[in-house]
Amino acid sequence: MTPAEIHDRLRARFGDDVVALHADLRDPAIELRPERLRDACRFLRDDDDLRFDFLRSVAGVDRRDAIEVVYHLLSYPRRHTVVLRTRLDRDRPSVPSVHDVWPTADWHERETFDLLGVDFAGHPRLRRLLLPEDWVGHPLRKDYERPAEYHGIPVGRDASPPVARGGGGDRPRPRPAMHEPKAEELAGFLRLNMGPHHPATHGVINFLLETDGEILRRAVPDVGYLHRGIEKLAESNAYLGTMPYTDRVDYLGAIFANHAWALAVERLLGIEVPPRGEYCRVIAAELNRIASHLIATGSLAMDLGAFTPFIHWIREREKINDIMERICGARLTYNYLRFGGVARDIDGETVDMIRRWLDHFDPIIDEFNRLIGENEIFVKRLARIAVISPEDAVAWGLVGPNLRASGVDWDLRRDQPYSVYPELEFDVVVGRGWRGQVGDAYDRFWCRMLEMRQSVRLLRQACEKLPPGDFWAKPKTVKPAANEVYACTESARGELGVFVISDGTDKPYRAKFRTGSFTAMSIIERLSPGLLLADLVALIGSLDVVAPEVDR
Amino acid sequence: MLFDFATVLVFLFVAAAFVGGALVAGRFVRPRLPDPEKATVYECGERPIGSAWFNFNPRFYTMALVFIVFDVEIALTYPVAVVVRDWVRDGKALLAVVEIVLFLAVLIAALAYVWGKGHLDWARDVDGPEGDR
Amino acid sequence: MTDESRDPLLKDGAAAAPAGDASPPIEAVVYPGAIATRLDHFLNWFRKSSIWYLLFATACCGIELMQTGGPRTDLDRFGAVFRASPRQSDLLIVAGTITYKMADRVRLLWAQMAEPRYVIAMGSCANSGGLFQRSYSVVCGVDKVVPVDLYLPGCPPRPEALNEAILRLQEKMHAERWAAKRKGG
């Protein structure tokens, strides 16, 4: 259904509470009154023709005269999307929470509260998510001012150079007020911090565990230790200047973040990418997917105690790093894509290098499986652990291999195609309960292994079909007219989406990144009761969570 | 045989001297800078929540006790194999068998009780927040 | 040994080390010159050949840290292995951006390491905030929270660069004097 039809359906049901349809936008948005938002959302989810079961993203926007909350929805069964928005009073923004319609809204709303100060009425535990509990202010507001210092550490770049320069004699710096323990009283259960400094949490993530011996009653993720304010920084950079920041949104899948950003801005500008540029993008993306899955599967094995497979994968990753270095000059944070193409060409020698490496890599996957993938202890650690049903996966906003391992057959490259994926042949790997149950940790692991093989297949085809011609159709200026767009790519961790609002200048008005690890993290609390501590490690590893995606 | 024990004594002295020497040498070589912050408990960079002295589930104790009992049982059963040869030579084989079987039977009865009562299940009564596992 | 007098967070703002001096030891045990220098060489050789670093990574530099520990640029051949606990580590490689939320924890981790301890600020973010300098939640350089021995530029630094940093740290450790009398008293 088109947005206009959905709008008519809503109007028929809710009358004047559906304020307007902004049809002139690149992604038309339906504006609703805040009071009826939850009912409208429930209707959108339950109506048979609409069936919007996936809340993609919740973005708060400070429009200077009001605060707006924008909801992006997707329907897996009906394959259509819609954008809802609602305007709130700037001084006391309040809207009903939709966490009972889509559980994934829990964290999205907490983030919007944290960064914009929007109150979500009815939310079970509305508190800050990314910033520390005692932070003052809501940074994504346009009139936000940084505090002078936080816990004794001065804020800002020009504030007090370090004493270590040999200067000495500077004013004595107070010791920071050390972080106080979070106090709650309950007898009989051990309250532990797992993280932020922990090898198994895949980055700086903290879990507050309540354990009875080694069985968890609850594991509450505490995130934000790597919140770097990328979305706010994007508002003060030119569009291309944000490209390196997108590398850091997901450093293991930098090309995907680059791609999502490039797609969004290209749609705003209305420009096309030449075929060679598209193929270069696909080659870089699939190489990046393999590199990311190497880390994902390798570190899962390492977390479970098997160190050798991880080192094998590091060795293979070095070879991919060499190829990527030839392609774009960097080993990790590529900054490869540009609006209208890619920054540098992939020449014939590089293609040969890729082909040789692919021939080398295929048997290596088998070696890895003999080493660990089919190892009985490894299978026992993962099979039937933390099973996620397909309904839960969709409701909690899981994407990518996590979603497919639970049995939901959805891959953006095939179902919302972009770039030249329609011209390439590949299979979408869906979980089948290979060693246990559909949606268990082993399925999530095995999905990634099989996806690597599919990426090899895609790479072979892309290298074959790489057309001659231009690789970058550079636009004259990057100053898109006022518009709003949502673009997403299938990253190694699932849907990496970018919602951009442009205002006619050379800097975006608002950029919101929607990442797979963010929602994957949110489901951990739900799955944790009854898990052993060791199973929690397996769960975190199998979800392939990376901290920068969660925190941005 | 007494001389063999002297070897053990020398071993003990050397081990003690090795350890002691390393510790003494360290005392003179290393810096000594006690600091209250350094002495805090390491919990992944965070301050610990509450105290670690609280009511642990008694199953840790039960498991440890059961393990000790059966470990000692094994430890006591092994020497029987050495001694029983002398008994067999003296014609008291049946007595040896009866004795060891009685010994094991008492402990098997204990095992049956512990097993049947469910004390060998690690997680018997764990409530998640919803009240079930 | 990190010059603790350069600790940015000392309550009474300690005096700086005089320029050009290798970090003066906290405890200087005085022995006759010839023995002392040899003793120092001996001790330093042990210490620099077995630098155990704390596995501490926040962001992208952490991946390059992992790659440096991998087979190609093997840190293990310098005796440098990673440890998960600060109690067992000599070196804190701050790999990645430090946010205000994380700054307290870095400080605590560093404080929980036993002397002699060293800090390498790896990458632009740890050196100065990097490309996140203008962000509201990023500490512009980890040297605002812990005293740093070595600044390693890069975004992220190549494994070879981190390798070089470890070697420079070894040189620094070699130049330390424990048993020898300090020049000039």
- Nearest residue on chain B to A222, alpha-carbon basis: B46
> Cβ separation of A217 and B133 shorter than 8 Å?
no
Q: Which residues of chain C neighbour A303 with C-beta distances below 8 Å?
A: none
pLDDT band at C183 (very low <50, low <70, confident <90, very high): very low
Burial class (CB in 10 A: 0-12, 13-18, 19+), A185: exposed
Return d(Cα A32, Cα A30) in angstroms, integer.
6
pLDDT recorded at residue A159: 55
Average pLDDT over residues A539-544: 92
Q: Which residue has the tokens 């990144």?
A: A513
A531: pLDDT strictly greater than 50: yes
- Kindly give the pairing relationship between strand A494-502 and strand A508-514: antiparallel
pLDDT recorded at residue B123: 67
Cα A16–chain centre separation? 35
- Kindly give the pairing relationship between strand A67-74 and strand A149-150: unpaired
C5: pLDDT strictly greater than 80: no
Average pLDDT over residues A152-177: 48
Domains and CATH numbers, chain B: 2-116 (1.20.58.1610)
A97: pLDDT strictly greater than 80: yes
> A178 or A247: whose pLDDT is higher?
A247
State the residue range of the domain holding C81. Answer: 52-168
Average pLDDT over residues A97-116: 92
pLDDT band at B127 (very low <50, low <70, confident <90, very high): very low
Q: Which residues of chain A neighbour C107 with C-beta distances below 8 Å?
A: 176, 178
pLDDT recorded at residue A466: 92
Indicate whether C21 belongs to any domain.
no
B43: pLDDT strictly greater than 80: yes
pLDDT recorded at residue A399: 93
pLDDT recorded at residue B47: 83
Return d(Cα A50, Cα B117) in angstroms, integer.
55
Return d(Cα A219, Cα A526) in angstroms, integer.
8
Q: Are A307 and A268 in contact (CB under 8 A)?
A: no
Q: What percent of chain B has pLDDT over 90?
A: 26
Q: Which of B112-126, C125-139, C144-158 has the lowest mean pLDDT?
A: B112-126
H/E segment holding residue A267:
helix A254-269
Other Cβ atoms closer than 10 A to A25: 15
Indicate whether C97 belongs to any domain.
yes
* From C6, C104, C133, residue closest to A151, measured CB to CB: C104
Domains and CATH numbers, chain A: 3-121 (3.30.460.80), 275-324+349-478+515-551 (1.10.645.10)
Indicate whether C73 belongs to any domain.
yes
First to last CA, chain A: 33
* Smallest Cα distance from C109 to chain B, Å: 6
> Cβ separation of C106 and B45 shorter than 8 Å?
yes
B26: pLDDT strictly greater than 90: no
C175: pLDDT strictly greater than 90: no
- Nearest residue on chain A to C137, alpha-carbon basis: A228
* From A146, A166, A169, residue closest to C17, measured CB to CB: A166
B40 touches chain C (CB under 8 A): yes
Return d(Cα B113, Cα A482) in angstroms, integer.
77
The string of pLDDT tens digits covering residues A110-119 is 999 999 999 9
Q: Are A289 and A469 in contact (CB under 8 A)?
A: no
Q: Which of A342-346, A458-462, B87-91, C76-80 has the lowest mean pLDDT?
A: B87-91
Q: Which residues of chain C neighbour A317 with C-beta distances below 8 Å?
A: 67, 70
B38 touches chain A (CB under 8 A): no
Which value does ipTM take for this structure? 0.86
pLDDT recorded at residue C34: 67
Average pLDDT over residues A289-316: 93
- Kindly give the pairing relationship between strand A81-88 and strand C91-95: unpaired
Q: Which residue has the tokens 């919602």?
A: A499
pLDDT recorded at residue A244: 93
Q: Which residues of chain C neighbour A171 with C-beta distances below 8 Å?
A: 13
pLDDT recorded at residue A289: 95
pLDDT recorded at residue C181: 52
C30: pLDDT strictly greater than 80: no
CB burial string B89-107: b at 16+ within 10 A, e below:
eeeeeeebeeeeeeeeeeb
A170: pLDDT strictly greater than 60: no
- Kindly give the pairing relationship between strand A341-342 and strand A337-338: antiparallel
Paired strand residues for A500 = A485, A511
The string of pLDDT tens digits covering residues A369-378 is 888 988 899 9
A334: pLDDT strictly greater than 70: yes
Q: How is residue A335 written in tokens?
A: 């900054």
pLDDT band at C6 (very low <50, low <70, confident <90, very high): low
Q: Which residues of chain B neighbour A124 with C-beta distances below 8 Å?
A: none
- Return the sign of the alpha-carbon dihedral for residues C63, C66, C71, C75: positive
Q: Residue A103's closest CA among A392, A461, A509?
A: A392
B39 touches chain A (CB under 8 A): no
- Nearest residue on chain B to A208, alpha-carbon basis: B49
Q: If you ran DSSP here, which 8-state letter would residue A271 be given? A: -
Name the strands in the sheet holding A18-22, side by side, starting at the edge strand that comes first in the sequence: A18-22, A29-32, A81-88, A67-74, A54-62
H helix runs in C17-82, sequence order: 33-48, 60-68
Rounded to 5 degrees, φ, ψ at A118 are -80, 130
A160: pLDDT strictly greater than 80: no
What average pLDDT does chain C have?
81
Q: Which residue has the tokens 């004794």?
A: A152
A187: pLDDT strictly greater than 80: no
Q: Residue B47's closest CA among A180, A413, A125?
A: A180
The string of pLDDT tens digits covering residues B58-79 is 888 888 999 999 999 889 888 8
Burial class (CB in 10 A: 0-12, 13-18, 19+), A258: buried
Q: Considering its fold, how many domains does chain C have in total? A: 1
Average pLDDT over residues A235-264: 93
Best residue in B37, B40, B41, B46 for a mutation probing chain A (most A CBs within 10 Å): B46
pLDDT band at A434 (very low <50, low <70, confident <90, very high): confident
* Smallest Cα distance from A245 to chain B, Å: 27
A180: pLDDT strictly greater than 60: no
Indicate whether C177 belongs to any domain.
no
The string of pLDDT tens digits covering residues A358-367 is 999 999 999 9
Indicate whether C99 belongs to any domain.
yes
pLDDT band at A536 (very low <50, low <70, confident <90, very high): very high
What average pLDDT does chain A have?
88
**Looking at chain B, which subunits does it touch, using at least 3 CB pairs closer than 8 Å as the criterion?**
A, C
Indicate whether C161 belongs to any domain.
yes
> Cβ separation of B42 and C85 shorter than 8 Å?
yes
B34 touches chain C (CB under 8 A): no
A258: pLDDT strictly greater than 90: yes
Q: Residue A173's closest CA among A159, A156, A153, A157?
A: A153
A202: pLDDT strictly greater than 90: no
- Long-range contacts, stretch B22-31, CB < 8 angstroms, 24+ apart: B28/C29, B29/C43, B29/C178, B30/C115, B31/C1, B31/C25, B31/C26, B31/C27, B31/C115, B31/C116
A274: pLDDT strictly greater than 90: yes
pLDDT recorded at residue C180: 60
Enter the pTM of the model: 0.86
Indicate whether C160 belongs to any domain.
yes
Average pLDDT over residues C13-41: 53
- Nearest residue on chain A to C125, alpha-carbon basis: A228
pLDDT recorded at residue A163: 44
Q: Are A244 and A256 in contact (CB under 8 A)?
A: no
CATH number reported for the structural domain that contains residue C97 in this entry: 3.40.50.12280
Q: Which residues of chain C neighbour B45 with C-beta distances below 8 Å?
A: 105-106, 108-109
pLDDT recorded at residue C62: 92
Return d(Cα C134, Cα A139) in angstroms, integer.
13
Q: How is residue A24 written in tokens?
A: 């002139």
